[in-house]
A and B are shown apart, each in its own frame.
Chain A
Amino acid sequence: GAVVSQHPSWVICKSGTSVKIECRSLDFQATTMFWYRQFPKQSLMLMATSNEGSKATYEQGVEKDKFLINHASLTLSTLTVTSAHPEDSSFYICSASKAGGTDTQYFGPGTRLTVL
């Protein structure tokens, strides 16, 4: 158990467009989901923490109006990169913690975003 999926696995878009990335917990309910991004040769950086049914908490330096997070159900969180620019090109990874279980985080496979 504890499988997390992401869709799409990769996306290429034009500058100025918006891109939505989905994160799903397939075999468990997740009260909390996290969004990270990772630039080449760097470690993962937390962007925001998302709790089901409430507003996300963003890390310092992450623009909440640019990176819209919705966690409408216990199995789905979405990250929308609005008006994407080339500097937003990165590897976006989500993780989820089981509701009522231990607080171990399970990660999705990641989404590679390339903005032209």
Chain B
Amino acid sequence: DAKTTQPPSMDCAEGRAANLPCNHSTISGNEYVYWYRQIHSQGPQYIIHGLKNNETNEMASLIITEDRKSSTLILPHATLRDTAVYYCIVRVGGGNAGNMLTFGGGTRLMVKP
């Protein structure tokens, strides 16, 4: 699986958009970009994933650059409950349930009042 690079920490003001970047310059054509987050002492929570098109769901938006070498997770209106470690993971998709996830260090997002 391609390695990802994320800033170790970021701050965001409550109510503002949080933009979390991720570099994955060695991503392969069949690798998807997944985002998870982990609130302290809980299991990771799936947020969103995409291949090459931008994606949006009720939690966030995922913007993938045209060359797919980087992406940005956008939380449109951050709340204090969004304080967590956010993990960007790239891995082969295609419906194979056995494809594992490799977690890096993630970005520790602190949402401040």
Contact string against B for A residues 72-116, beta-carbon threshold 8 Å, 1 for contact and 0 otherwise: 000000000000000000010101011101111111111010000
Q: In the complex, which residues of chain B have a beta carbon less than 8 angstroms from the beta carbon of A51?
A: 98
* Pair A97/B97 contact, Cβ less than 8 Å: yes
| Residue of A with least CB distance to B36 | A107
Total chain B interface residues with beta-carbon distance under 8 A: 25
24 CB contacts below 8 A, A to B, read A30-B97, A31-B98, A32-B97, A34-B100, A36-B103, A43-B103, A43-B105, A43-B106, A44-B38, A44-B103, A46-B101, A49-B98, A49-B100, A91-B41, A93-B43, A95-B43, A103-B93, A103-B94, A103-B97, A106-B46, A107-B44, A107-B45, A109-B43, A112-B41
| Number of A-B contacts defined by CB within 8 Å | 65
B103 & A105 in contact (Cβ 8 Å cutoff): no
Contacts of A109 on B, CB cut-off 8 Å? 42-43
- Which A residues are within 8 Å of any B CB, using their own CB? 2, 4, 6, 30-32, 34, 36, 43-46, 49, 51, 91, 93, 95, 97-99, 101-110, 112
B42 neighbours in A (Cβ, 8 Å): 109-110
| CA distance in complex: A31, B95 (Å) | 12
- For the complex of A and B, list the 10 residue pairs with the smallest distance between their C-beta atoms, beginning with the closest: A97-B97, A107-B43, A44-B103, A32-B97, A43-B103, A107-B44, A110-B43, A103-B97, A93-B43, A109-B43
The yes or no answer to B49 lying at the interface (CB within 8 A) is yes
A11, B96: Cα distance in complex, Å: 33
For the complex, what is the distance from the CA of A97 to the CA of B98, rounded to whole Å?
Answer: 8
Report the separation of the CA atoms of residues A4 and B45 in the bound assembly, to the nearest whole angstrom: 11
Alpha-carbon distance A81/B96, docked complex (angstroms): 28
